[in-house]
Chain A
Amino acid sequence: MGSGTSTQHHFAFQNAEKAFKAAVLIQRWYRRYMARLEMRRHCTWSIFQSIEYAGQQDQVKLHNFFSYLVDHFTPNNHNERDFLNRMFTEERSPQDSEMENCRDYESIEVPDSYTGPRLSFPLLPDHATALVEAFRVKQRLHARYVLNLLYEARKHLVQLPNINRVSTCYSEEITVCGDLHGQLDDLIFIFYKNGLPSPERAYVFNGDFVDRGKDSVEILMVLFAFMLVYPKEFHLNRGNHEDHMVNLRYGFTKEVMHKYKTHGKKILKLLQDVFCWLPLATLVDEKVLILHGGVSDMTDLEFLAKLDRHKIVSTMRCKTRKEHKKQAEEKGKANQTSSAGTPSPWFLPQSHSLPTSPLRPSTQKAHRAGRSSSVPCGVPLDPKELSHRVRHSVDLELERCRQQAGFPVIKEKEEPLPSASEADPEAEGRREPTQEEWRQVVDILWSDPMAQEGCKANTIRGGGCYFGPNVTERLLQKYNLQFLIRSHECKPEGYEFCHSRKVLTIFSASNYYEVGSNRGAYVKLGPALTPHIVQFQANKATHTLTMRQRISRVGESALRALREKLFAHSSDLLVEFKKHDKDKTGLITLSDWAAAVESVLHLGLPWRMLRPQLVSSLTDNKLEYKSWLKNLAKEQFSHENIQSSLLEALYRNRSNLETIFRIIDSDHSGFISLDEFRQTWKLFSSHMNIDVTDDCICDLARSIDFNKDGHIDINEFLEAFRLVEQSCSKGYASDC
């Protein structure tokens, strides 16, 4: 008995020990597997982000191209002059009197055969809900109702202050959503999961409703509808993509013209105005500030609250050639910053220098007098008193805005006005923002938080700044705020806290880069204003995929994009590789490969880690670079008869090309003339040092299907060479 039991115990103990060791082994192995997966996810994410931001840097290149144009190109005839002028003359923003003409939507007939939703005003909650349902089943709203809705939306927005004040006393909870970027599925999902807007359920949408996704129009319609139905509970902030210039490049303009062929232009015109009437920020209980991008060390909420936001038509600065000439003359005199040095086309962001700019704001505080505190003060108040104050200051703001909306305001400008001899009747009626006004708005729409202290120019995006924890802290203290909610950046989990939880980034477009790339999220603020995050991923298919499968799909997509980019730089890469191969063996080491690739692409990616995915075969642990480059080319295109260097050039400059085409196509017809195309290409290629003959261009153009005599259909051209994604492929739920 005794020894038997002890033997049994002994065995049992041994078995338990064995099982323990076995379990540890399995767990150890599994955790390493997951860690490698995690690493792959990080790499994939880095790829997407770096390519996205590098794309934004393209704007700088475009800027340089046009500077080059101005410096080297003298128009020989009036056609060429017109051509250039179109790029350098600002389009007038519609005056109020012109806005009345937009009522002519009333003359647009809706055929009986139209089965989509019909709207009547004033809108009722049921109409808004019906609209969501209609869009969910893929119906399209008729242009007449689109215009009508936009017109009504504008009327409402004009009355709102720059900084919208919201109180949680009226509705119990507030839900804040971030970027949607045309992804209607995500919006529908949010309403499904969180509930439709109502007097008890307030919403704030923090900008970037449009561009990139395929349903930007529908999202705007839904958001504006709810805004009209629940004006006190439903709030919108402007994002950097609520901007007709940005829309030219990132897809919204194209979407509108594609969905509304007859009335698209009218819709775009009205939208341009509606966008600049969107409020710049929302303040909840005087404690939580919600704005799209971020802040800078110069952010002045009082100043922001008082400026005429309507003047900021686009955060892309405008400057005419006339102004350039005038300033070029004065160049010698003043200590001007770079923004005055070279002229810039009206659609490009100016590089603006930060704090050391000589163009400091003069104290234009004339409007201060007589206003009660419109800005949070330092004394804590009880909720009732607080909401009373909020209401009171809101009423004052409304009053001021109503007064303002009726009359054109001519403010003093900081910059010297064009001299009398160059006075031009067009310029006088225009209302331009001052440098300081423009900069304050750009800062809050474009800035990103960073981990380091301080504040520096956001060179990657080309606008706004990077702001550190001390900048946040100072701002929160100055205005007695609890924390900041912003969007503007995609995050893998849909949200991210930083600056000791004083800044919350919230991003609501799930699967933004690719199916499975990231979750979306929204945040709810209860009466205590503690944030409660809810995450989601709209594509059902991703739920059934394991992390492994999700990451591998996204990874594939990222790698494809990366290979494309590598191909686009083939010539430069070859030059770099040769530098590492002095003995002309045709081989280079992997370290050299990694160094060369980074020096050409400047993406800051871990090339050595990505190597197995990008380089398939090695000879003696070295890479045969010429055949590697050839393989890259083979993957990319099917038009063998087109000169590969031309194709390479097209790929490298694709986003700029599309933008240029769309600018030339100023009436949004979708067509540019063959001559314009040739001219543009000639200039572009000479500046970019692309060695391509005229004949080659003609061959290229001829290989595309012309719809009309001597006209090129932009979309066909770009899509024929896979220069843009097919408009239907992005955003659809996967089949798997």
Chain B
Amino acid sequence: MSQIIQWIEIGTIIRSLGCCPSEGELHDLIAEVEEEEPTGYIRFEKFLPVMTEVLLERRYRPIPEDILHRAFEVLDPAKRGFLSKEELIKYMTEVGERFSQEEMEEMLSAAIDPESNSIHYKDYITMMVVDEN
């Protein structure tokens, strides 16, 4: 028995298993595996069958690069190829399933090109995808 016990959030586990749910989908999933009286913990016996089904059904598949690129283009109708820092912040923190300040800061630290103060999303996506592999 490993003595090393660390707290990992259920969302992290689900996402690292290859799924890419939205926050809303994640909440639904957690509701399925939670105890009747939420203790803040998930039991493995309950988690396993639900998760197995999710994986077999190939639910919440990850997003292909080109779809991601198109999403950025929606936010950049003038098709400049980049978003300004302010625009990125506005969209990520005010629209959709909003980022927390921490998430926003972390994204900015890697995404923003300091010279132009903007994110060139095509390059950004390529970099992140390569990095994952």
Contacts and interface: CB of A to CB of B under 8 A. Distances in A.
User: Which of A20, A23, A42 counts the most B-chain CB atoms under 10 A from its CB?
Assistant: A23
Contacts of A49: 4
9 contacts: A22-B71, A22-B72, A22-B74, A28-B22, A34-B103, A35-B12, A35-B15, A39-B13, A604-B2
Nearest to A49: B4
A27 B96 contact: yes
B12 A39 contact: yes
Contacts of A38: 8, 12, 16
Given A35-B11, A35-B12, A36-B132, A19 B95 contact: yes
Contacts of A34: 103, 106
B28 to A, nearest CB: 14
Interface residues of A, number: 35
A31 B103 CA distance: 9
B20 interface: yes
Contacts of B67: 25
Q: How large is the interface on B (under 10, 10 to 19, 20 to 34, 35 or more residues)?
A: 35 or more
Contacts of B62: 29, 32
B35 interface: no
Given A27-B92, A29-B20, 19 more contacts: A22-B72, A23-B75, A23-B97, A24-B97, A26-B92, A27-B98, A27-B99, A28-B63, A30-B103, A32-B15, A36-B16, A38-B12, A38-B16, A39-B12, A39-B16, A50-B4, A450-B5, A466-B3, A604-B4
Contacts of B107: 30
Contacts of B97: 23-24, 27-28
B93 to A, nearest CB: 10
Contact of B75 (A19, A30, A32, A42): A19
User: Which of A30, A451, A547 counts the most B-chain CB atoms under 10 A from its CB?
Assistant: A30
A548 B108 CA distance: 12
Contact of A20 (B16, B23, B96): B96
A28 B2 CA distance: 33
B116 interface: no
A26 B88 CA distance: 11
User: Which of B4, B75, B92, B106 counts the most A-chain CB atoms under 10 A from its CB?
Assistant: B4
A577 B4 CA distance: 27
Nearest to B65: A29
Contacts of B3: 53, 450, 460, 466
B133 to A, nearest CB: 9
Nearest to B96: A23
B6 interface: yes
Contacts of A20: 95-96
A31 B15 contact: yes
Contacts of A42: 6, 8
A553 to B, nearest CB: 13
B48 interface: no
Contacts of A53: 3
Contacts of B92: 23, 26-27
A516 to B, nearest CB: 14
A23 B63 contact: no
Interface of B: 1-6, 8, 11-16, 19-23, 62-63, 67-68, 70-72, 74-75, 91-92, 95-99, 103, 106-107, 109-110, 128, 131-132
B71 A25 contact: yes
A35 B22 CA distance: 13
A450 B75 CA distance: 49
Nearest to A602: B2
A259 interface: no
Contacts of A546: 106, 109-110
Contacts of B128: 33
Contacts of A33: 128, 132
A25 B19 CA distance: 13
B114 to A, nearest CB: 11
Main secondary structure of the interface of B (DSSP, over half): helix
A19 B20 contact: no
B106 to A, nearest CB: 6
Contacts of A18: 74
Contacts of B11: 31, 35
A36 B15 contact: yes
Contacts of A29: 20, 62-63, 68
B91 A23 contact: yes
Nearest to B95: A23
Contacts of A466: 3
B46 to A, nearest CB: 19
Interface in A543-559: 546-548
A671 interface: no
A22 B97 CA distance: 11
A31 B72 contact: no
Contacts of A26: 68, 71-72, 75, 91-92, 96
The 6 closest A-B pairs by CB, nearest first: A23-B96, A604-B2, A35-B15, A22-B74, A39-B16, A22-B71
Interface string A518-558: 00000000000000000000000000001110000000000
A45 interface: yes
Nearest to B24: A24
Nearest to A603: B2
A13 to B, nearest CB: 14
A25 B68 contact: yes
Contacts of B91: 19, 23, 26
Contacts of B13: 39
Given A50-B4, A53-B3, A547-B106, A24 B96 contact: yes
Contacts of B70: 22
A115 to B, nearest CB: 42
A35 B71 contact: no
A466 B19 CA distance: 37
B16 A548 contact: no
Contacts of A19: 74-75, 91, 95
Interface in A19-77: 19-36, 38-39, 42, 45-46, 49-50, 53
User: Which of B23, B71, B75, B131 counts the most A-chain CB atoms under 10 A from its CB?
Assistant: B71
Given A23-B96, A31-B23, A46 B5 contact: no
